[in-house]
Amino acid sequence: MIRKFTILLPFLAVACATPELPGGFEDEQSWFDARVEAGAGAQGAPSVIPDKTPVMTAETISEATQAVLGAREALMHEERASRPGVADTEAYAQDARERANPPPPID
């Protein structure tokens, strides 16, 4: 019972706090009916909603893709060039083993 009361209490509070429409619902409905009777219909509405997105052709998309891929390749090449080279495979393996060892436990 307490659970039901707890769940329904916010709904009751909102329902009691909701203000009445000025003039009541019937006045609002009569305004709508008057507009419909006066001929306010869909004849003034546009048949199509214009699209605001830019028009892109397949060629434009392809050029943009090539530019992004070219920038990626340049960045990857620059990163590879900045890495120190490893001349010895055994030295690389030893360095990898040292990095793979877990740190000592914290006491």
Inside any domain, residue 72: yes
Mean pLDDT value of segment 20-25: 59
Looking at per-residue confidence, does 25 or 89 come out higher?
A: 89
Q: Residues 5, 11: contact at Cβ < 8 Å?
A: no
Predicted pLDDT of residue 76: 93
Among 68, 64, 88, CA closest to 76? 68
Q: Is the pLDDT of residue 100 over 80?
A: yes
Inside any domain, residue 28: yes
Domains held by the chain: number: 2
Inside any domain, residue 46: no
Inside any domain, residue 73: yes
Inside any domain, residue 107: no
Predicted pLDDT of residue 7: 80
- Provide the residue range defining the domain that includes 14: 2-36
If asked whether residues 32 and 63 sit together in one domain, one would say no
Helix/strand/coil (H, E, C) string of 45-58?
CCCCCCCCCCCCCH
For residues 74 and 81, give the distance between their C-alpha atoms in angstroms, rounded to a whole number. 10
If asked whether residues 62 and 95 sit together in one domain, one would say yes
Q: How far is CA 17 from CA 4, 14, 21, in A?
A: 20, 5, 13
Q: Residues 75, 69: contact at Cβ < 8 Å?
A: no
Inside any domain, residue 106: no
Looking at per-residue confidence, does 60 or 39 come out higher?
A: 60
Give the DSSP per-residue string, 16-62. HHPPPPTTHHHHHHHHHHHHHHTT-SGGGS-SSPPP-SPP--HHHHH
For residues 35 and 31, give the distance between their C-alpha atoms in angstroms, rounded to a whole number. 6
Running DSSP on this structure, what letter comes out for residue 86? -
Q: Is the pLDDT of residue 27 over 60?
A: no
Inside any domain, residue 18: yes
Inside any domain, residue 50: no
Least confident segment among 17-21, 47-51, 52-56, 75-79: 17-21
pLDDT, averaged across the chain? 78
Predicted pLDDT of residue 64: 93
